[in-house]
Amino acid sequence: REILWELLPRFDILLDNFRPTVMPSWGITLEKLHALRPGMIWASISGYGETGPYNDYPANGATTEPMAGLSSLHGYEGDTGMNTGGLYPDPIAGYFLIATVMAALAHRDNSGQAQRVDLSMMEAITAVCGEALLERDATGHLPVPRGNHHPRVSPHNNYQARDNEWLAIATESEAAWNALVAYTGESKLLAARFASMALRKANEPELDGILSQWVALQDARATEKALAALGVTSSRIVPLYELYSEPYAP
């Protein structure tokens, strides 16, 4: 703490990632910070924010996902929900914090006024659940886990190829669907029960079965490239490490 107090006068920005009670317990307040360095911006990330009923709850990514509602949307069809498996609220909240700090700096430069930024991991995750919130408000339907499926688009799933890789296919237009059918050469896909998006969605289990059998005979990478050339949205499920050896690696 002593070292922090010695360094504070040199800072334009103070960031912390504690429960809201920790920094005040060290004697840190916005007034004291501005006395040390006028215009300093103080920005905090906590699980549930500085105020509100959960402000002193302990938190991490594994608990803020379900608290924000994301876990109620994630999982296989029929599941009651599950976490994503990674601590995504932490980095996502970090991205949000950088954006808010940049805005606070711009505000200070324009007005001379410093700001206190209070960001919670829960609200950062809630922001990525926007589609589900809109669906609930527009239709009254509470979204549930759908696995790889989409509420309206079909086909929309991952299929295992012969090389043990997996291929994601999602056709959002009739043009893409027609191109997919033509490329596969599967006569079953020409049936009237697949003639529209609504019909394909209604007959999705059978459609998935046909595509699963076809993809099982294909090479995932070659099929991905061929479908992309035809305007069909598809992608292999790429192992993360492969991104760093591909031509498009950052």
Domain check: are 34 and 119 in the same one? yes
Tell me the per-residue pLDDT of 190-241, one tens digit each, with 9 for 90 and over.
Answer: 999 999 999 999 999 999 999 999 999 999 999 999 999 999 999 999 888 7
The answer to whether residue 144 is domain-embedded is no
Nearest to 222 by CA among 157, 165, 156, 174: 165
Domain check: are 115 and 38 in the same one? yes
Structural domain range at position 111: 2-130
Domain check: are 106 and 38 in the same one? yes
Tell which of 112, 130, 148 closes a domain.
130
Domain count of the fold of the chain: 2
Domain check: are 126 and 40 in the same one? yes
* Residues of the chain by 3-state class (helix, strand, coil), percent to 5: 50, 10, 40
The answer to whether residue 145 is domain-embedded is no
CB-count burial class (<10 Å; 0-12, 13-18, 19+) for 188: middle
Q: Which residue type does 87 have?
A: L
pLDDT at 248: 63
Mutual angle of helices 174-184 and 220-229, in 10-degree steps? 130
Domain check: are 104 and 10 in the same one? yes
Looking up residue 225, the CATH number of its domain turns out to be 3.30.1540.10
The answer to whether residue 138 is domain-embedded is no
User: Confidence band (pLDDT; 50, 70, 90) for 249?
Assistant: low
Kindly report the pTM of this predicted structure. 0.81
Domain check: are 108 and 175 in the same one? no
Nearest to 152 by CA among 164, 162, 138, 166: 138
The answer to whether residue 216 is domain-embedded is yes
Q: Tokens 């696995």 belong to which residue?
A: 147
The answer to whether residue 151 is domain-embedded is no
Round to whole Å and give the CA distance between 235 and 237.
Answer: 6
- Decide if pLDDT at 7 tops 70: yes
The answer to whether residue 75 is domain-embedded is yes
- Decide if pLDDT at 155 tops 80: yes
Tell me the per-residue pLDDT of 156-202, one tens digit each, with 9 for 90 and over.
Answer: 999 999 999 999 999 999 999 999 999 999 999 999 999 999 999 99
Domain check: are 20 and 87 in the same one? yes
Domain check: are 118 and 214 in the same one? no
The residue with greater pLDDT, 39 or 249, is 39
Tell me the per-residue pLDDT of 97-146, one tens digit each, with 9 for 90 and over.
Answer: 999 999 999 999 999 888 999 999 999 999 889 889 999 999 999 899 99
pLDDT at 116: 94
